[in-house]
Structure 1
Amino acid sequence: MTGGSEERWESALDAVVVYARGALCRRLARGTVSPGGRVVVTGLPRSLDPGSLRARVLDTPGVRVTEARVKVDAAPVAPGAAEGLGREVERLRDAREAVEARRDRQLGLVKEIEGLHPVAPGRKREDPHRRSPVEAWLELADFVDERLTGLHARLAELEEELREAEHALTVAAERLARASTDAPAAHVRTEVCAVLTLDGVEDAATHVRVELEYGVPGAVWVPTYRLTHHQGDGSGRLLLRASVAQRTDEDWTGVRIAFSTADLRRRTDLPRLRSVRLGRRQAAPAPSGWREPPAGLADLFAGYDAAGPRPATAFGPGGAVAGAAAADDDW
């Protein structure tokens, strides 16, 4: 597969599981791939742990990922990239200020309507008592309630619009800061990608959906508990809220987020299972003195048997040397 073509796919962050330290992110990418080709998935953060990258194919039986590795691409930055980001930041700042001004005007209208209340006309001591216009007071109260309902609904919309404008301004300002500090001398932009090798692709243009999973540091969540109890009630209401802080170089807006109290970087090994015997306990058998002969014992004297016949002994039956006896006879 080294000689196949290479396709570039964009990815989108789908879900995040935030642990006590770190987070596990899940990205989805889709596209067409030819047989023997490789896929380069873009959009990964620079803070990811390369050893935690996992990839698998979804909804395409027979196709599987045989290799997944992290690659960093470098490309020259256009000369006007920083200027364009600066103009975008200015535009978003003006839009934020316009929404904030509309919100302030809406707050003024709410305060103005809330200040409406019936006031009885002044009466001198010699004037007779007059009947209170209760119907007029009730009509004024209904008008105030109806008007405040509409004003508060519009105020909630403006508050949400202001939060979105502030978020967009924050993201644009962060991009401008990165573009201004990422290797300004060489004008090089780096991008982290995942290179995937797919096996089992038979058609010339097979549509494949891929899931990427990787871990990132720089994320943490803190639980907050709130217990509500009314005096005289026999029950209460416990609310659990999670405050999330992250600097993973990714935007988590609109992403499904789950929480875990485990430590993502804690090593987990399988437990060692011990054997368990059921029944009455029996005494251990007495050790035996017999042992199996060592391996290769039969070959210990193989060299001696192959040396030939046994040599004649130099001593006679009486214990005298035969050669010495023959010498005495000559004398």
Structure 2
Amino acid sequence: MKSEVAQTQGWASTLDAVVVYAQGALCTRVARGTVPADGRVRVTGLPRSMDPGSLRATAAGGNGARVTEVRVEVAAGPAGTEDTGSLRREMERLRDVHAAARARRDRQAGLIGETAALRPVPPAREPGDPPRATPADAWLRLAAFLDARLRAQQHRLTELEEELRRAEHDLAVATDRWTRASTDVPSDDIATSLVAVVTLDGVDTAAGPVELELQYGVPGAVWAPAYRLTHRRGEDGGTLVLRASVAQRTGEDWTGVRLALATADLRRRTDLPKLRSLRLGRRQPAPTPSGWREPPAGLADLFSGYDAAGPRPVPVRAAPG
């Protein structure tokens, strides 16, 4: 009875890794559970945007299990609505986080402006006083102090700007989710989802649960590189930072997954080239074609229908009038 219930409910899967290509992405999901007696497992959690023809499944671990069949089915169930109240509270919380990050960034920028405005001011000269010597050493020490202070403050400003960008991204995602949930009007009470039906063979029940890895391709994912070169005046080198901007509308949450990037095209054909044979040795002239070729297949049956029709009828001539 327990195996039947587990088979009906299916195994819940978790998104483990994503490889983003120039167009599209290759996702890897992991599911774990006990295989029923018939060896057929239903894995849930697949996105509706996936390509059914790209689904692959493998059995991980040393329990001797192997996948003999995998296919995609459409499952139907009651439609659920996302709580707009929790989404609104999350959006308001991220709005406060964004405001605090912006305030810290602006305060740090103000400190940099105050530090950069520091200038050496000599004391006022009274009438009749002799000219004073210029304190060059003091000016140089002040310039070195300001340079070190500005360098540390600029590094802190870079960190605060990155924190502000992350807060803006999180706020934009939360706002979009709240907008979609608040304006969504369900057309019916039935929702459909994709389920992977995996058939396993050679399962050792004494070895414990079986772990499955499912790979599938999804469209709607791209990435673009961004380069940032930092060089300070007076230094011999600089810092080159490579960043990647990833955008996806696959219907899945990629938070906390292992992410990799590839410049190849996921949908491009990668067939192996056909290599022509090479003959090593002294070159010989090509043989002269003989002009004879094999008769086509089925030539003997070409007139079988005519022969089966019987003798040809004799025409009857009309008597002269």
- Determine the structure 1 residue equivalent to 2:67: 65
1:162 to 158, 161, 164: 164
Would you say 1:16 and 2:19 are equivalent positions?
A: yes
Asked whether the equivalents of residues 5 and 38 of structure 1 are also in contact (C-alpha less than 8 Å), the reply is no
- Bigger CA drift: 202-211 or 156-165? 202-211
Larger radius of gyration: 1
Q: Scaled by the length of structure 2, what TM-score is found?
A: 0.68
Deviation at 1:62, TM superposition (A): 1.6
Q: Which ranges of 4 or more aligned residues in structure 1 deviate by more than 6 Å? A: 223-227, 238-242
Asked whether the equivalents of residues 17 and 25 of structure 1 are also in contact (C-alpha less than 8 Å), the reply is yes
- Determine the structure 1 residue equivalent to 2:6: 5
Deviation at 1:104, TM superposition (A): 0.9
- Determine the structure 2 residue equivalent to 1:114: 116
**Can you list the C-alpha shifts for 1:63-115, whole angstroms capped at 9, x where unaligned?**
1222323345544325x712211221121112111111111111111111121
- Determine the structure 2 residue equivalent to 1:184: 186
- Determine the structure 2 residue equivalent to 1:97: 99
Name the SS for the 2:19 alignment partner: strand
Name the SS for the 1:201 alignment partner: coil
Asked whether the equivalents of residues 223 and 241 of structure 1 are also in contact (C-alpha less than 8 Å), the reply is yes
Name the SS for the 1:5 alignment partner: helix
Q: How does 1:136-215 map to 2 (within 5 A)?
A: 136-180=138-182, 182-186=184-188, 191-203=193-205, 206-215=208-217
Whole-angstrom distance in 1 between the partners of 2:241 and 2:284: 53
Distance verdict in 2 for CA 1:4–1:273, change over 3 Å: farther
What is the total number of aligned residue pairs between the two structures?
A: 280
Deviation at 1:168, TM superposition (A): 2.0
Distance verdict in 2 for CA 1:211–1:177, change over 3 Å: farther
Whole-angstrom distance in 1 between the partners of 2:43 and 2:121: 70
Name the SS for the 1:9 alignment partner: strand
Whole-angstrom distance in 2 between the partners of 1:268 and 1:223: 24
Would you say 1:27 and 2:28 are equivalent positions?
A: yes
Whole-angstrom distance in 1 between the partners of 2:49 and 2:55: 12
- What one-letter code is carried by the residue in structure 2 that aligns with 1:94? D
Q: CA RMSD in A?
A: 4.1
For structure 1, the 5+ residue unaligned runs are: 228-237, 297-331
- Bigger CA drift: 10-19 or 110-119? 10-19
Whole-angstrom distance in 2 between the partners of 1:49 and 1:241: 29
Distance verdict in 2 for CA 1:91–1:192, change over 3 Å: farther
- Bigger CA drift: 176-185 or 108-117? 176-185
Asked whether the equivalents of residues 35 and 203 of structure 1 are also in contact (C-alpha less than 8 Å), the reply is no
Deviation at 1:194, TM superposition (A): 3.0
**Can you list the C-alpha shifts for 1:23-76, whole angstroms capped at 9, x where unaligned?**
231323142323435444444333211111111122335212223233455443
Deviation at 1:259, TM superposition (A): 1.9
1:81 to 80, 83, 92: 83
- What one-letter code is carried by the residue in structure 2 that aligns with 1:259? A
Whole-angstrom distance in 1 between the partners of 2:31 and 2:215: 15
Asked whether the equivalents of residues 72 and 191 of structure 1 are also in contact (C-alpha less than 8 Å), the reply is yes
Deviation at 1:221, TM superposition (A): 4.7
Whole-angstrom distance in 2 between the partners of 1:154 and 1:241: 19
- Determine the structure 2 residue equivalent to 1:133: 135
- Determine the structure 2 residue equivalent to 1:303: none
- What one-letter code is carried by the residue in structure 2 that aligns with 1:50? P
Asked whether the equivalents of residues 227 and 243 of structure 2 are also in contact (C-alpha less than 8 Å), the reply is yes
Would you say 1:218 and 2:220 are equivalent positions?
A: yes
Q: Scaled by the length of structure 1, what TM-score is found?
A: 0.67
Deviation at 1:250, TM superposition (A): 3.6
Whole-angstrom distance in 1 between the partners of 2:208 and 2:166: 39
- What one-letter code is carried by the residue in structure 2 that aligns with 1:12? L
Whole-angstrom distance in 1 between the partners of 2:276 and 2:152: 70
Whole-angstrom distance in 1 between the partners of 2:228 and 2:151: 29
Distance verdict in 2 for CA 1:146–1:278, change over 3 Å: closer
Whole-angstrom distance in 1 between the partners of 2:94 and 2:242: 34
Asked whether the equivalents of residues 34 and 206 of structure 1 are also in contact (C-alpha less than 8 Å), the reply is no
